[in-house]
C-alpha cells in the first residue's frame, strides 16, 4: 500500500490540482478516509521538503510538483542499485540545468537547518570551554582520521593505526605502496594548507590549488582535463571538452559563493566537484577537502567521515551523478556532521 504522502505526490505529478479534487483522489478506494486537515498537513510537510509547491491564492490555490522535486525525491537506494548500471533509469551526461535548480532551492529544509545550527552551537560551546592543548590534540586526531577515511574511500589499504604512525612518525607501513603513503600525507598537507588559507570564496584557482596539494608527487596532472574520463559503477560520463568543464566550474563557483548558508556551501562542494570531474584523478578527494575548507574558514567543525560506510557514500554520489538527486547524500552529510560534533572537541572529555 502506498504511503499517503507518496500517493499525494503521484496525484500532483499528473497536473496542478486544488485541495477539493486532491482530497477526492487521495480517498478514492481508501479503506480509511483522510480528512481535509490531514491532507493539508501532509501538503505542508511536502512543501517544506521542496517536493510540492503552492500556487494561487484563496479558493484558487492549487498544488504542483516543485521545480526542484528531482533534487529531493525519495528514491529507494537498495532497489535502485539492485539493477546493473546499464539497466537503471539514469542520466548519462552532465546536466548544466542542475545549477539553476540548486540556485532556486535550499539544500536543507527548515528542520534540517535548525538541527545543523543546534549542532554548531554545541560545537562552539565545546571548543570555548577546552584548553588550547586539548583543541590541538583533537584537531590532530580529526586530521588523522579524515586522512585515513578519505584515502580509504579511494581504495587505500592503510588502516587507522598505520595512518597515525605514518603521519606522526613519517614512517611507511610495510605491505603498502608508496603512493598510498603519499595520498595520506597529502591529506595532512592539504588540511594544513586550508587551515592557513581560510578559504571563504571558491574560484577555479582555489580548486586547482587544493587539488595540487592533495595530489602532489602522485603523477596526477593539476590542469583541467581535455579528454574523456569514465567512472566505475555508473553510466554517467562527465564533460570531456575543456572549455565546457571550465564553464561548469565557473557555474559551480558562482552557485556556491552565492549561497549564504555555510552547511549548504560545504554540501554542494562535496557533490559538485565530484560531479564535474575537472581533473584526471583526485576529484572526490578535492570535493571532500574543499567542503571542509569552507566549514573550517568559519570555525565550524570539519567532517572526518570516520563512521561513513564507503559503499553507501559512493552510492549517494552516484545517485547525484545519475539522477541529480541529493537526498541520500544530504542524509549522510547530516549524520557525519552530528558524528563529528559528538566525537571531537567534546566538553565532556
Are residues 316 and 226 part of one domain? yes
Q: How confident is the model at residue 347 (pLDDT cuts 50, 70, 90)?
A: low
In this model, does residue 227 exceed pLDDT 50? yes
pTM over 0.85: yes
Residue 254 counted as domain residue: yes
Do residues 66 and 51 make contact, with C-beta atoms less than 8 angstroms apart? yes
Specify whether 268 is located in the same domain as 134.
yes
Whether 62 and 93 share a structural domain:
no
Cβ proximity of 229 and 281 under 8 Å: no
- Cα angle: 137, vertex 143, 146; to 5 degrees: 140
Residue 182, all three cell numbers = 603519499
* Percentage of residues of the chain with pLDDT beyond 90: 89
Sequence-separated (6 or more) residues with CB below 8 Å from residue 89 = 323
pLDDT at residue 88, as a whole number: 93
CA atoms of 65 and 54, how far apart (whole Å): 9
Asked whether residue 233 falls in the same domain as residue 131, the answer is: yes
Could you tell me the residue range of the domain that residue 9 belongs to?
A: 4-66
CB 85 within 8 A of CB 91: no
Residue 273 has pLDDT above 60, yes or no: yes
50 and 102 inside one domain: no
Tally Cβ neighbours within 10 Å of residue 90.
Answer: 17
- Both 116 and 256 in one domain: the answer is yes
Whether residue 74 lies inside any domain: the answer is: no
Measured distance CA(186)–CA(241) in Å, rounded: 28
Quick check: 2 pLDDT over 80?
no
* CATH code for the domain in which residue 142 is found: 1.10.3290.10
Q: Is residue 79 part of a domain?
A: no
Average pLDDT over residues 56-67: 91
**Looking at residue 52, which CATH number applies to its domain?**
1.10.10.10
CA 142 – CA 136 distance, rounded (Å): 10
Domain shared by 186 and 101, yes or no: yes
On whether both 99 and 13 belong to a single domain, the answer is no
Cell, residue 306: 570516520
The predicted-structure confidence for 187-204, as pLDDT tens digits, reads as follows 999 999 999 999 999 999
| Count, residues in the chain | 349
- Residues 191, 281 within the same domain: yes
Q: Is residue 349 part of a domain?
A: no
Long-range pairs of 238-242 with CB within 8 A, sequence gap ≥ 24: 238/94, 238/275, 238/276, 238/277, 239/94, 239/276, 239/277
Please give the pLDDT value at position 243. 97
Which of 302, 90, 105, 85 is CA-nearest to residue 187? 302
Average pLDDT over residues 82-96: 93
Looking at the 3D structure of the chain, how many domains does it have? 2
- In terms of C-beta density within 10 A (0-12 exposed, 13-18 middle, 19 or more buried), how is residue 150 classed? buried
Phi, psi of 30 (to 5 degrees): -80, 135
Q: Which among 130, 166, 57 has a CA at the least distance from the CA of 346? A: 130
Could you tell me if 35 and 144 lie in one domain?
no
Average pLDDT over residues 204-217: 98
Q: Is residue 174 part of a domain?
A: yes
Across the chain, what does the average pLDDT equal?
95
The candidate with the shortest Cα–Cα distance to 34, out of 5, 60, 54, 58, is 5
Same structural domain for residues 113 and 51? no
Residues 96 and 220 in one domain: yes
Amino acid at each position: 500500500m502506498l504511503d499517503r504522502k507518496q500517493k499525494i505526490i503521484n496525484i500532483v505529478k499528473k497536473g496542478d490540482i486544488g485541495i477539493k479534487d486532491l482530497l477526492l483522489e487521495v480517498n478514492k478506494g481508501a479503506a480509511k478516509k483522510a480528512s481535509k486537515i490531514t491532507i493539508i498537513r501532509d501538503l505542508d510537510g511536502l512543501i517544506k521538503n521542496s517536493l510540492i509547491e503552492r500556487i494561487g491564492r484563496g479558493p484558487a490555490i492549487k498544488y504542483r510538483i516543485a521545480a526542484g522535486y528531482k533534487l529531493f525525491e525519495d528514491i529507494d537506494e537498495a532497489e535502485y542499485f539492485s539493477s546493473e548500471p546499464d539497466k537503471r533509469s539514469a542520466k548519462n551526461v552532465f546536466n548544466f540545468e542542475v545549477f539553476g535548480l540548486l540556485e532556486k532551492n535550499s539544500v536543507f529544509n527548515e528542520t534540517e537547518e535548525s538541527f545543523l545550527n543546534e549542532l554548531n552551537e554545541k560545537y562552539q560551546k565545546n571548543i570555548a570551554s577546552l584548553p588550547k592543548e586539548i583543541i590541538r590534540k583533537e584537531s590532530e586526531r580529526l586530521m588523522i582520521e579524515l586522512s585515513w577515511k578519505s584515502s580509504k574511500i579511494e581504495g587505500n589499504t592503510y588502516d587507522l593505526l598505520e595512518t597515525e604512525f605514518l603521519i606522526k612518525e613519517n614512517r611507511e607501513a610495510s605491505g603498502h605502496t608508496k603512493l598510498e603513503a603519499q595520498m595520506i600525507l597529502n591529506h595532512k598537507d592539504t588540511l594544513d594548507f586550508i587551515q592557513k588559507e581560510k578559504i571563504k570564496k571558491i574560484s577555479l584557482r582555489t580548486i586547482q590549488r587544493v587539488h595540487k596539494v592533495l595530489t602532489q608527487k602522485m603523477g596526477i596532472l593539476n590542469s583541467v582535463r581535455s579528454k574523456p574520463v569514465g567512472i566505475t559503477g555508473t553510466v554517467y560520463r562527465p564533460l570531456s571538452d575543456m572549455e565546457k568543464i571550465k564553464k561548469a566550474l565557473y557555474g559551480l563557483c558562482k552557485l556556491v559563493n552565492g549561497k549564504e548558508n555555510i552547511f549548504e556551501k560545504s554540501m554542494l562542494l562535496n557533490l559538485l566537484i565530484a560531479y564535474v570531474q575537472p581533473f584526471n584523478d583526485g576529484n572526490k578527494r578535492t570535493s571532500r577537502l574543499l567542503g571542509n575548507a569552507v566549514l573550517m574558514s568559519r570555525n565550524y567543525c570539519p567532517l572526518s567521515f570516520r563512521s561513513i560506510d564507503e559503499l553507501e557514500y559512493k552510492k549517494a554520489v552516484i545517485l547525484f551523478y545519475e539522477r541529480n538527486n541529493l537526498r541520500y547524500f544530504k542524509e549522510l552529510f547530516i549524520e557525519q556532521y552530528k558524528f563529528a560534533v559528538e566525537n571531537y572537541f567534546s566538553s565532556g572529555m
